[in-house]
Amino acid sequence: MNKNNCMFRDSPSPLEERADELRVMLRSEDPHALATRSGVIYTPQGDSDGEFKLALWNRDVILGFPDFEARDARTEDVLNPFDQALLVYYFHIAKGTPQSGKWISFTELPNGSFYAQAFRGYTSQKLFHSFGDRVESFSQAAERAGGRGEFFASRSYSYQILPRVALMVACWVGDEDFPSSYRVLFDAAAGDYLSTDGCAILGGQLTRRLIKALDEEESKK
């Protein structure tokens, strides 16, 4: 991973810039093999066309083949450029590895240790700044954002972002000696489906969703 291309600026543009190149490469692949490696459903629609069906952030999506244009399965609206690029990367990198159920830190992703401090800055530190020791507020926001409770740390919630990419946000409740702490973790298979940059962006997105859910809850009071 080239440091100059690292996405800790939280900008989707590097993903989008190469997406068209990857689309060209994917068009030459067997769609059935792509579906198997990506863990999605492929439905042929003619001699050479078809559709992949999958979920992105619990949103049903249809990805056309061979154009690799993604749209909302319900509204048929075309997805934004970043989500389009994310899906193209997912299909390009997918190795067919099953999800492990083992949670790893960002530093355990390829080259993740080089950018761990930056990642903590816009995930763990932002979560602490927003939630602090308010564990119940964290739980409410995590559930509002669609999280599933897990038996890990003091409180934790997992999110199935893509068919084989899952993230978890965990909270360790503090005491008189140490403050509460938060971490965004990844299923160990995540690196077989997205670049470390892509995983970093998802961690940032999850953090923003949780903070937005908190703001929505507090606006009701």
Beta bridge partners of 181: 172
Residue 2 pLDDT = 39
The model's pLDDT over 56-65, given as tens digits with 9 standing for 90+, comes to 999 999 999 9
Low-confidence winner among 4-8, 62-66, 186-190 (lowest mean pLDDT):
4-8
Residue 58 pLDDT = 93
Residue 208 pLDDT = 97
Residue 15 pLDDT = 66
- Could you write out the DSSP letters of every residue in 164-214? TEEEEEEEE---SSS--EEEEEEETTGGGTS-HHHHHHHHHHHHHHHHHHH
Q: Please, what is the average pLDDT of the chain?
A: 91
The model's pLDDT over 138-148, given as tens digits with 9 standing for 90+, comes to 999 999 999 99
Closest CA to 62 of 46, 48, 45: 45
Tokens of 107: 């530093």
Closest CA to 128 of 161, 90, 173: 173
Backbone angles phi, psi at 186, to 5 degrees: -130, 145
Q: Is pLDDT of 12 > 90?
A: no
The model's pLDDT over 76-130, given as tens digits with 9 standing for 90+, comes to 999 999 899 999 999 999 999 999 999 999 999 999 999 999 999 999 999 999 9
CA distance 39 to 18: 23
